[in-house]
Amino acid sequence: MYYHTIGKSLLLMFFLGFYSTNAQENNLFKELNNLTNDKVTYSPPAFKALQIGNLQSTKMVGQKEFYMLVAHRFGYLKGGINDFYGLDQANTKIQFLYGIKKKIQIGISRDSYNKTYSGSGKVSIKKQSESFPINLVLYNSMDINTLIKKISYPGLLFFDRFAYTTQVLMSRRFSENLSLAITPVYVRKNLIDLNYTKNPILTSNEPLSFITEPWNQYLLALGGRYKFSKRMSLNMDYAYNLSKNKNSLYKNPLTVGIDIETGGHVFQLLFTNSRSSSDAVFLTETLGDWSKGDISFGFNILRIF
């Protein structure tokens, strides 16, 4: 009787232990399932390259990744065979970029156009996901024009050479093939451009701002990418200057190009009316007019190390 009672007690303890363990395992699986269900699923990047064409994209340099960008912009195609369709007149920009953190990148560059040195920073704020409809990135750059001469600007100070650009990059990947971007842009220049208008004639009824360049300029830029094969896409970007005077010599920059993905790097072929690759210059000092055939060939080569 004693052993029978012990046996029943042990059997009861076994079933209670099994039930308790099984309940704990079920609770653990439920918690794991909840964690899996709560995990955010992000959409693939809207753009493969760091730039759509000339305009910045929402693509970021990864943490501890090192990129080199080489950008060439040639002369106008309408120059014909005498200028070898613009290839005799090349501007080159070399840029180095590094991801210091998962969502932060920095960069330095030198553009032969205006002998411009630049520094930049890019911060990812939010990625497109099931719960958030867009990619949101902040971008800032600072350009230093070292070509400006004191003979043209008496009293020129060092910081007069500076120009600053702030961009709020917003993009959305609508499908595997189509991505679009919209970007409000602010450009601040520390020096008024004397070549803003051609042969200005100021009457007594017109303010000085009628012929001078604004210190602060606001633009709205648009861009897009359409993938038409496994490794190639058609890209386009355009920036409309909301602050540009009707008498300005400068035009709104328009760039059309093709992205070619080749393993470790992205190769971009471009046609644009801008000869510069620096942010403040191509956004506010583009001289080419597409309607008059002022179109330059160029390319960007992005190499990942």
Instruction: Encode the chain (305 residues) as per-residue pLDDT tens digits.
Output: 444 444 444 444 444 444 444 445 455 455 555 544 557 788 888 998 999 999 999 999 999 999 999 999 998 888 777 777 677 788 899 999 999 998 999 999 999 998 999 999 999 999 999 889 999 999 999 999 998 887 677 788 888 899 999 999 999 999 999 999 999 999 999 987 766 776 555 554 555 555 677 889 999 999 999 999 988 999 999 999 999 887 888 999 999 999 998 876 789 999 999 989 999 999 999 999 999 989 999 999 988 87
DSSP state of 243: T
Task: Tell how far CA 40 is from the center of its chain.
Answer: 24
Task: Tell how far CA 303 is from the center of its chain.
Answer: 16
* CATH architecture group of domain 66-304: Beta Barrel (2.40)
CA angle 78, 251, 55 (to 5 degrees): 95
Q: Give strand pairing partners of 248.
A: 197
Query: What six digits make up the tokens of 156?
Result: 């020129």
d(CA 181, CA 178): 10
The model's pTM is 0.80
d(CA 253, CA 45): 25
For the chain, the structural domain boundaries read 66-304
d(CA 152, CA 16): 93
Using a 10 angstrom Cβ sphere, with 0-12 exposed, 13-18 middle and 19 or more buried, the burial of residue 211 is middle
Check if the beta carbon of residue 126 is closer than 8 Å to that of residue 134: yes
d(CA 110, CA 103): 24
